[in-house]
Chain A
Amino acid sequence: MEAEGTVSGAGLIAMQNFLTRKIAVLSTCLILLLALPVIMQLLDEPYLISLSSRILIYAIAAVSLYLILGYGGMVSLGHAAFFGTGAYVVGILASASFDASPVFSWPFQMDGSERLLVALPLALLISAFAALIIGFFSLRTSGMYFIMITLAFAQMLYYFYVSLEGYGGDDGLSLYSRSQLPLLDLGDDTHFYYLCLTFLLLFLLFCHRLVNSRFGRVIQGIRENEKRMQSLGYAVFGYKLACFVIAGAGAGLAGALMANQSEFVSPGLMHWTQSGEILVMVLLGGMGTLFGPVLGAVALLSMEEILSMFTEHWMVYLGPFLILVVLFTRGGLYGLLIGRER
């Protein structure tokens, strides 16, 4: 450890190298992401554009989980509950609009809608509300209890959607088309890809601002020492709950996009293996930065895609790979690419 205030020459150079490497890697990634649909068109692989949108959507979900996990220290194994809720809001609204029947008529009439400008805010709102309820109960606990309770609540929502016979029950619900948005044709995979990319970048920017704000500092303080923050007079429970709700809304955003991407929603979206997969993305990418989860989503989903080209039993390789990652790498893929921040 170096004394505070003095940085040795070697340390400064290492810091500069780290920063240049970080900027180089990140800007390359951004240019690649922006140019991706064009490259895919040239390569004549339009399927990959739709796959890339899926990856971007999961990246949003992973970043939202990272918000509570990395900064808040809350290990949730039920994050797919909010992902699925966001997707179902879009699905239910679209299906009601297609049938021209209201979603509910009491206490006021709620009509279906295929417009993204209606469906998306509602998806955010309702998944945030679900996170408020689930968080209120789960955050009374911590550690192992918290992991298991979030898991159990997600299963509960899973069974709730399975029992929604009017919306396909176990089999899920097919959407007639993607949502409508002025100026863009979301049915076009390239347009949809750029929409997802925009949302991902906006969400990253939002999270970056959030974790560096006063609120974000408090959340990180709570992660480090909850008792001390409490003694300092912070309403610890309120801060944690707020963070949990924001993360839930983020997952709801990803879910709403996912419903559009696949034009299909099913309870499988909130199965606990989904929560596990999102968690894996966060860990695989590496903790300590918001780009880790994005990298993790890219790595995990492309690995699944590539492995499944060779064998239908790809999970038998993925499982041990995950174990090896846990046992032998610290800092995940981001650490490998850019180096450790400290």
Chain B
Amino acid sequence: MQSPASGLSMLLFIEQILNGLQLGVMLFLMSAGLTLVFGIMQVINLAHGSFYMIGAYVAATVMQQTGSFMLGLLAALPVSALIGMLVEALVLRRLYQRDHLDQVLATFGLILFFNELTRIIWGRQPLFMDGPEWLSGTVELIPGAPYPSYRLAIIVVGIAVAVLLYLLFTRTRLGMQIRAGSSNREMVAALGVNIKLLYTLVFGLGTLLAGLAGVMAGPILAVESGMGESILILTFVVIVIGGIGSIRGALIAALLVGMVDTLGRAFLPGLFRLVLPAAQADGVGASLSSMAIYILMAAILVWKPKGLFPAQA
């Protein structure tokens, strides 16, 4: 027979697991596109977070006008994909053969531009948006533990995207070309594949996924200028842990980072209270939990310097 207290903490634990899963799924959407761009085109793109922000802003605006979340989503996806492809054609395409340093500088310039542009268009005040009406309730997955349906929907969407990406890469011609392009660019071009177009499409797919993540984050977080950067850094951690260029690595690392971050924030202060005075424990716990994923990353790199699933041998 369980005591009520431990039953309650069990429910809390399950809730935090779901929260971790939800953060992991968001990170996966961000990192799947970015790791492809890193791995296939060998280009470091700091501006990936900008497409997340663009997705969120477009969805929030369309939703304010029409009142429909789904319309906002439908508008945001093509817009982020198109802007992504435009940026690829105008800026990044010229940088593929360049030093990483040039890529960092140019994409840093892109971030400054997009952040300031959103401030000009939408102002400095954050926008707030609601999720769709039919997802506003809660679901009792386990009796006694209601969980917001919207967050559950994010998890479902993330899993669906993972399955779709898997099918795209293993079962379609396009996926085969992308995989081939990542291992030998010249050969694929010589075989008559339009590699330029392929790269633009891959980039567009990446920014579309980033836009999707942005739309889904909209109802949970505030939509504001610079929102892309906080998730971008986490995305980098995911990609480094998973191994650059590996979608499978991105999925596993995203879930790992989501779990460690969420569970650390929820439970580390409590754990430290067992051994330290309360005030001190909260301080140590809070600072340690915000550093937890970086410590995880350092530990994994000591063990495997190329990440868990290095894409290229």
Q: 1/0 per position for A268-284, CB-CB distance to B under 8 A?
A: 00001100100110010
Query: B117 touching A316 by the CB < 8 A rule?
Result: yes
Interface residues of B in 182-233 (CB under 8 A from A): 229, 233
Contact B106 A323 (CB under 8 A): yes
Given the contacts A75-B100, A137-B301, A326 and B112 also touching, CB distance less than 8 Å: no
Binds A, one of B18-26, B58-66, B285-293: B285-293
Q: How far is A279 from B294 in the complex, measured between Cα atoms in Å?
A: 22
> Using a Cβ–Cβ cut-off of 8 Å, how many residues does chain B contribute to the interface with A?
47
Residues A283 and B105 in contact in the complex (CB < 8 Å), given A151-B233, A152-B233, A163-B287? yes
B297 touches A149 (CB 8 A): yes
Say how far A136's CB is from chain B's closest CB, in angstroms.
Answer: 9
Whole-angstrom CA separation of A155 from B38 in the bound complex: 21
Interface membership of A232, Cβ < 8 A: no
Q: What residues on B are CB-neighbors of A280 within 8 Å?
A: 105, 108
**Nearest chain B CB to A167's CB is how many angstroms away?**
12
Bound together, the chains give a CA A323 to CA B102 distance in angstroms of 9
Convert A157-172 into 0s and 1s, putting 1 for each residue whose CB lies closer than 8 angstroms to a CB of B: 0011011110000000
A107 within 8 A of partner (CB): no
From B105, B113, B294, B298, give the contact of A326 (CB < 8 A).
B105
* Interface presence of A219 (CB below 8 A): no
- Chain B residues contacting A165 (CB-CB under 8 Å) are 283
Chain A residues near B (Cβ < 8 Å): 69, 75, 77, 137, 140-141, 143-145, 147-149, 151-153, 155-156, 159-160, 162-165, 272-273, 276, 279-280, 283, 313-316, 318-323, 325-327
User: Quick check: is B94 within 8 A (CB to CB) of the other chain?
Assistant: yes
Q: A151-B236, A316-B120 are in contact. Are A326 and B106 (CB under 8 A)?
A: yes
A156–B112 touching, CB < 8 Å: no
B contact residues around A153 at 8 Å (CB): 294, 298
Cα–Cα distance between A141 and B112 once the two chains are bound (Å): 28
A322 and B106 form a contact (CB under 8 A): yes
Q: Which of B137-145, B160-168, B173-181, B237-245 contacts A (4 or more CB under 8 A)?
A: B237-245
Do A326 and B233 touch (CB < 8 A)? no
Contact B287 A160 (CB under 8 A): yes
Contacts A/B (CB < 8 Å), 25 sampled: A137-B302, A141-B306, A144-B100, A147-B104, A148-B240, A149-B297, A149-B301, A152-B237, A152-B294, A159-B290, A159-B291, A160-B290, A164-B287, A165-B283, A279-B105, A283-B102, A283-B105, A314-B116, A315-B113, A316-B112, A316-B113, A319-B111, A322-B108, A323-B109, A327-B106
B contact residues around A147 at 8 Å (CB): 44, 100, 104
Chain B residues with Cβ below 8 Å from A164 are: 287
Chain B: residues with CB nearer than 8 A to chain A? 38, 42, 44, 46, 91, 94-95, 98, 100-102, 104-106, 108-117, 119-120, 229, 233, 236-237, 239-240, 244, 283, 286-287, 290-291, 294-295, 297-298, 301-302, 305-307
With both chains docked as a complex, state the minimum distance between the C-beta of B278 and any C-beta of chain A, in angstroms: 14
Interface pairs A-B: 4 shortest CB-CB: A319-B113, A322-B109, A163-B287, A319-B112
A144 B109 Cβ-Cβ under 8 A = no
Contact A143 B297 (CB under 8 A): no
B112 x A148 contact (CB < 8 A):
no
Are B105 and A152 in contact (CB-based, < 8 A)?
no
State whether B101 touches A75 (Cβ < 8 A).
yes
Among the listed B42, B91, B240, B283, which residue makes an inter-chain contact with A323, where contact means beta carbons less than 8 Å apart? Answer: B91
For residue B238, give the distance in angstroms from its CB to the closest CB of chain A: 10
In whole angstroms, how far apart are the Cα atoms of A77 and B236 in the complex?
Answer: 12
- Which single member of B95, B116, B239, B295 contacts A319 (CB below 8 Å)? B116
Q: How far is the CA of A159 from the CA of B261 in the complex (A)?
A: 13
B279: nearest chain-A partner, CB-CB: A165
Residues of A within 8 A of B115 (CB): 315
Checking B95, B291, B306 against A160 with a beta-carbon cut-off of 8 angstroms, the contacting residue is B291
Q: Cβ of B291: which chain A residues have Cβ within 8 Å of it?
A: 156, 159-160
Q: Which of A137, A279, A327 contacts B108 (CB 8 A)?
A: A279
Bound Cα distance A323, B107 (Å):
8
Which residue in chain A gives the minimum CB-CB distance to B291? Answer: A156
Measured in the bound complex, the distance between the Cα atoms of B102 and A137 in whole Å is 24
Chain A residues within 8 Å of B287, by CB: 159-160, 163-164
Q: Which of A141, A149, A160, A322 contacts B105 (CB 8 A)?
A: A322
* Chain B nearest CB, measured from A21 CB (Å): 26
Q: A145-B306, A316-B117, A322-B112 are in contact. Are A77 and B290 (CB under 8 A)?
A: no
Using CB atoms, name the residue of chain A closest to B99. Answer: A75
Hey, which chain A residues are within 8 Å of B237, CB to CB? 148, 152
Q: Are B297 and A326 in contact (CB under 8 A)?
A: no
* Complex interface: chain B residues within 8 A of A313 (CB): 116, 119-120
CB-based nearest B residue for A148: B236
A149–B91 contact, CB under 8 A? no
Name the contact of B297 in the complex, choosing from A152, A159, A319, A327 (C-beta under 8 A). Answer: A152
Q: Which residues of A contact B233 (CB under 8 A)?
A: 151-152, 155, 272
CB nearest to A327 among chain B residues? B94
Q: Are B240 and A145 closer than 8 Å at their CB atoms?
A: yes
Chain A residue nearest to B288 (CB atoms) is: A163
In the complex, what distance in Å separates the CA atom of A141 from the CA atom of B310?
A: 13
Given contact pairs A159-B291, A313-B120, A319 touches B240 in the complex (Cβ within 8 A): no
| Bound Cα distance A313, B116 (Å) | 6
In the bound complex, what is the Cα–Cα distance between A117 and B305 (angstroms)?
40
Query: With a CB–CB cut-off of 8 A, which chain B residues contact A162?
Result: 290
Please name all residues of chain A whose beta carbon is closer than 8 Å to the beta carbon of B294 when the two chains form the complex. Answer: 152-153, 155-156
Complex: A145 Cα to B246 Cα, angstroms: 14
